[in-house]
Amino acid sequence: MAKVKSKAKSNGVHKKVATHIKRNDGIPFDANLFEGININRSAVERRAATIGKRRSVKKQWQAAWLLKAITLIDLTTLAGDDTPSNVNRLCAKAKAPVRQDLLEAMGVQGLNITTGAVCVYHNHIANAKAALGDSKLPIAAVSTGFPAGNIPLKEKLKQIELSVAAGATEIDIVVSRELVLRSKWKELYNEVAACRKACGDAHMKTILATGEIPTYTKVAKASIVSMMAGSDFIKTSTGKEPVNATIPVSLVMIRTIREYEEHTGYKVGFKPAGGIRTAKDALSWLFLIKEELGDEWLDPQLFRFGASSLLGDIERQLEHYVTGRYSASYRHPMA
């Protein structure tokens, strides 16, 4: 079991702030960067289908990868019926995501494993802040008329400012789908750039809502425009669209991240969100990131899962690793 510790350490699970990554300040609007983009859906899907088949991690390696996955989760609750009590539970879980006896069995109890952040609506920022106390866990707030984004820009900016003022250090914005669907790229750039300005020091994750974008080519174009406008992360979905994070759409987006870095030198983060429920899924995403972007991106500063139930499955897999017995969800403290 002690084997996990060295693997987990080399995976950097204990690092709260990894090596400093230069923030993406964006670049002036340049249509040349995206106009020639052509994405072939079938070929993307073929590659995506083999990601989880070409790679596999077992035993202590798998345990270490799953611990790593935990540190990359934005543990999320975004429901109409959120109240202080469930938000508090969420925060408690984020601080202590794995049962202590399991951590001890794996010898990783000293590594202070937490989730990457918690993600809540604006109204619960203060709440979360109190619940997280001095754990230094970041609070991400969804903003800008989440999830549909159909409110005036002025209102969007106001929301961002309020959330930052309330203590959110990460802001997940939604783009106006209308601008994407109507190919109003300059307008999209302006909107995202304005949001970024409003964020100030808070990191901005730009949600494209890919489930509502008809082609991968448009997803790629929207990704590039969002990065040009200064997004720290690009994010697939709100979790509220009919189709949320998928491996193929993620592949399209992270290839644009690679392209953008080659062009500008800025490293932009990626956050798949919605529908990621199993440890196996999470590993597939990690394989995808490692293969397409490299180990550097497997860091909370550059990669997050937007998920609520994923953690539960990872805990059960970790218990299986420790005990050799298949676990039940009620054996793990709920969020």
Rounded CA-CA distance 88/101 in Å is 23
Residues 134-193 that bind other proteins (CB under 8 A): none
CA atoms within 13 A of residue 301's CA, in its CB half-sphere: 15
Between CA 43 and CA 122 the distance in angstroms is 40
Question: Is residue 235 among the annotated active site residues?
Answer: yes
- Out of 172, 232, 281, 299, the active site residue is 172
Task: Let me know the angle formed at the C-alpha of 59 by 63 and 321, rounded to the nearest 5 degrees.
Answer: 65
Write down the least CB distance from residue 281 to other proteins, Å.
Answer: 17
Quick one: which of 287, 291, 217 has its CA closest to 253? 217
38 part of the interface to other proteins, by CB under 8 A: yes
304 lies in the site for other proteins, by CB under 8 A: no
φ, ψ dihedrals at 305, nearest 5°: -95, 130
Q: Which residues ranging from 229 to 288 are in contact with other proteins (CB under 8 A)?
A: 255, 286
Residue 214 within binding range of other proteins, rule CB under 8 A: yes
* Stretch 42-81: interaction string toward other proteins, x if CB under 8 A: xxxxxx--x--xxxxxxxxx---x--x-------------
Q: Binding residues for other proteins, how many (CB under 8 A)?
A: 34
CB of 286 to other proteins, least distance (A): 7
Task: Pick from 20, 22, 36, 81 the residue near other proteins by CB under 8 A.
Answer: 36
Kindly tell me which of 43 and 130 has the beta carbon lying closer to other proteins.
Answer: 43
**124 touches other proteins (CB under 8 A):** no
Dihedral angle computed from the Cα positions of residues 291, 258, 23 and 159, in that order, rounded to the nearest 10 degrees: -100
Has 172 been annotated as catalytic? yes
The structure tokens listed for 251 are 């592949």
271 is catalytic: yes
252: closest CA among 266, 265, 238, 234?
Answer: 234
Interatomic CA distance for residues 162 and 13, integer angstroms: 32
Q: Please report, as ranges, the residues that interact with other proteins according to CB under 8 A.
A: 7, 10-11, 36, 38-47, 50, 53-61, 65, 68, 214-215, 255, 286, 290-291, 295, 298
Enumerate the active-site residues.
172, 235, 271
